[in-house]
Amino acid sequence: MQKLELYKGLNLKTEDEVFEYMIKNLKNTICSFDFFVDFEKVLRHVKDIEIELNMLDYLIGKQDIQKELYTLITKYPNVVRTIPILIATRENRFKIVLNVDSKIKDKIYSFENKKEYTEEDKKEIIEFAEKSGVLELFKNSQIKSVIDYVFGVEVGLDSNARKNRTGKLMEKLIEAFIKDLCSKNGYRYLIQANSNKIEKEFNKKIVVDKSDRQFDFAILNKDKLYVIETNFYTAGGSKLKSVAGEFRAVDNFMKNSNKDVTFMWITDGIGWNTAKRPLREAYESIDHILTIQMIEDGILEQIIK
């Protein structure tokens, strides 16, 4: 049940009007420049294997490529750990299906670090590199610099992390509001706050629904504690229904198990346009569901004051 008095300044008088205002003002994006590629992380990953990548340059243009790779592995076993990144993966162990005739046959290929590789190990590593197409890149000089090639691979892998990065960007954005709010009013706040951290920093015990429960933020105003979860969805899907259900359950538990603790859910993104019903059900159950626009309108500050 929403507290309608909070929205009088926006001339919203009913729950329907507040909910429609929420939906109408969902953000298309919260992307900042660091959404696209985390170049610091990319450079860190390349730097970690820079020596081994330089060693692989030796293979460029070699014709008897299997023999040359065998020699390289024998003299410098550490180069083995770089082979998976050449096919754009951070895994170091692969189960490969070899045929699907009358019975599926598969084989394990391992690139785990060893001080020395057996003859059988080397044979399998070279076999994998050949059949995955890596050796052809070297043999035909399609790679001019292995470091440059891997830098591009790392950029690609990092771009795949954008979905996860949206959550971090939402947390960063909301923290800016919370930091300003707490600074102006003398409140205290924590990020990534579990029950132990809250007790240690705020001297306040809370009961949580599961031992690993960690709230994105916790704000303390005198003896009143507010715990906050945040997320942002640019796309819809069945996941949104389960998310809404999860936070309804969290809110219900916190209400029934804790005194002077208020749960808030800050969510946004046009993905909710495809899941209005579960969001509305959560809205009718949770006292405080806010969007970025509502925070900009000062609703978060009103709640905590």
**DSSP codes joined into one string, 6-48:** GGGGGT--SHHHHHHHHHHT--S----GGGS--HHHHHHHHHH
Q: How much is the mean pLDDT over the chain?
A: 93
pLDDT digits (tens, 9 = 90+) for 202-215: 999 999 999 889 99
User: DSSP characters for 237-262?
Assistant: STHHHHHHHHHHHHHHHHHHH-SSEE
**Residue 35 pLDDT class (50, 70, 90 cuts):** confident
Task: Map residue 188 onto helix, strand or coil.
Answer: strand
pLDDT band at 2 (very low <50, low <70, confident <90, very high): low
What is the reported pLDDT for 36? 83
Average pLDDT over residues 286-297: 96
User: Which pLDDT does position 16 carry in this prediction?
Assistant: 94
Question: Is 1 a residue whose pLDDT tops 70?
Answer: no
**Within 13 Å and on the Cβ side, how many CA atoms surround 169?**
21
**H or E element in which residue 55 lies:** helix 50-56
Residue 34 pLDDT exceeds 80: no
Q: For residues 51 and 211, which has the higher predicted lDDT (pLDDT)?
A: 51
Residues above pLDDT 70, as percent of the chain: 97
Taking Cα atoms as reference points, which of 203, 249, 260, 256 lies closest to residue 227? 260
Residue 164 scores a pLDDT above 90: no
Say how far apart CA 255 and CA 262 lie, in whole Å: 7
Answer for the pair 300, 294: CB distance below 8 angstroms, yes or no: yes
pLDDT at 211 (0 to 100): 87
Q: What is the CATH number of domain 4-35+162-304?
A: 3.40.91
Domain regions of the chain by residue span = 4-35+162-304, 39-159
pLDDT of the residue at 100: 63
Average pLDDT of the segment spanning 62-86: 96
Cα 167 from Cα 239, distance rounded (Å): 15
User: C-alpha distances in angstroms, 67 versus 72, 233, 236?
Assistant: 9, 51, 52
Task: Please give the Cα distance from 65 to 134 (Å, whole number).
Answer: 10
DSSP 8-state assignment for residue 278: H
The mean per-residue pLDDT over the stretch 69-78 comes to: 96
